Amino acid sequence: MATDPPLTFPSLSSLEEAASAKVPPRIWAYIQGGSGDERALEGNREAFRRWRLRPRVLGDVSTVDLGTTLLGTSVHAPFFVAPTAYQGEIHRDGEVGTARAAAGLGILGIYSTLSSASLETIASAAGAGPRWFQLYLQPEFARSRRLVERAEAAGYRAIVVTADVPVLAVRDRQASGGFAIDASLPLGNGPDVTPPPRGPTRDGARYTLRTEAATTWTILDQLREVTRLPLAVKGILTAEDAREAVRHGAQAIVVSNHGGRQLDAARPSLLALPEIVAAVDGKAEVYLDGGVRRGVDVLIALALGARGVGLGRPVLWALAWGGSDGVGRYLSALGTELATSMALSGRRSIAEIDPSLVEPNPPLHIFT
């Protein structure tokens, strides 16, 4: 299990490998795994290579400012911690460690319904730091409502409704690694959360129904009636669904294929981004997650119209590597790399990152 971190933080290139040595194989399979044969997972990274940068020079980049707002929340960087379940299984610091590190740097953290710590405990670790709550809908609406009320009372500033898990995908790597999502995993949010059903086993013969399989867009109208917090919908990959989300009052959209963990062969989120930005036409904020690893990835996504980008696995690697300290060092290193890449491309502020910064790379054979 976790040990005390060595003095030197690994480079962003070596963090993944360094983290793999810190956790048991079943936890590594949980973090890394995608669905099916992991085409969607691979596609997320490949998509970033479809774009390259058009840097400008001699534009006085002696100061670079990463600050922006996400749904009115002031943040020190345009990247945020994406919601990920069961962080307590990865390191004893769990979500409390992640929240402390992100909040200390003024970085937005989104925390999962399936957190190991309670949302109130996470909130106290975050203190005045920016935080949003990710909602997995519960079998009875009263429970979803209760979670939203608790989040509102605990100072979370937006509700992120995850829409791409009506059923749990078949995740071969996770299943064969021995990580079963089931009732035995401790859940911090207590009686308001129904433990997810047992994940599919290696035979993959049946899909596992989650409770929200019957949910439709009207859930956003229902949620609107029970909270004044802004609503974001996470897990959108088409212009059609982006328009539906806006029509039902979503103030933000997270373009995401769930880090390649749900529909395999789903399009990479980065490829979906431009049509969604166009469809939303400024009526909601658009964020992206999936495959964001380096400062230049953040630049590319922002140039293509994302207002913010989420980090899933990299935060978990940092947590595995060194708990709260690891997450803090990782987020700082990414901020430094983003600021450096902005300076090298002649951009002094987030507002200066515009579509002229990117151009398509010659198509890779996999996309032709």
Ligand X SMILES: Cc1cc2nc3c(=O)[nH]c(=O)nc-3n(C[C@H](O)[C@H](O)[C@H](O)COP(=O)(O)O)c2cc1C
**Catalytic site positions:** 258
8-state DSSP, 267: P
> Binding of ligand X at residue 335 (CB under 6 A)?
no
Binding range to ligand X, per CB under 6 A, among 80-88, 101-109, 149-157, 191-199 = 80-88
Q: Which residues of 268-280 are buried (b: 16+ CB within 10 A; e: fewer)?
A: bbbbbbebbbebb
Q: Which amino acid is located at 132 in the chain?
A: W
Q: For ligand X, which residue of 9, 28, 30, 80 counts as binding (CB under 6 A)? A: 30
Q: For ligand X, which residue of 258, 307, 329, 347 counts as binding (CB under 6 A)? A: 258
> Binding of ligand X at residue 290 (CB under 6 A)?
yes
Place of tokens 């013969």: 205
> Binding of ligand X at residue 114 (CB under 6 A)?
yes
- The minimum distance between CB 355 and ligand X, in angstroms, equals 23
Q: Which amino acid is located at 318 in the chain?
A: A
State the number of binding residues for ligand X (CB under 6 A): 25
Concatenating the DSSP letter of every residue in 194-216 gives PPPPPPP-TT--SPEEPGGGG--
CB closest to ligand X, residue no: 312
Which residues between 230 and 249 bind ligand X (CB under 6 A)?
A: 234
Binding range to ligand X, per CB under 6 A, among 18-26, 67-75, 208-216, 257-265 = 257-265
Binding range to ligand X, per CB under 6 A, among 98-106, 178-186, 286-294, 347-355 = 286-294
- The minimum distance between CB 199 and ligand X, in angstroms, equals 12
Q: Which helix (H) or strand (E) holds 43?
A: helix 39-48
How far is the C-alpha of 41 from the C-alpha of 33, rounded, in Å?
A: 8
Residue 246, both tokens: 């806006």
Q: Give CA separation, 234 vs 97, 103, 250, 257, 365, in Å.
A: 24, 22, 10, 9, 30
Q: For ligand X, which residue of 130, 188, 291, 328 counts as binding (CB under 6 A)? A: 291
Rounded to 10 degrees, the C-alpha dihedral 229/234/237/240 comes to: -30
> Binding of ligand X at residue 347 (CB under 6 A)?
no
> Binding of ligand X at residue 144 (CB under 6 A)?
no
Which residues between 54 and 73 bind ligand X (CB under 6 A)?
A: none
Binding range to ligand X, per CB under 6 A, among 10-18, 50-58, 216-224, 288-296 = 288-296
Q: Which helix (H) or strand (E) holds 286?
A: strand 285-289
Footprint of ligand X on this chain (CB under 6 A)? 30-31, 44, 82-85, 112, 114, 134, 162, 234, 256, 258-259, 261, 289-292, 310-313, 316
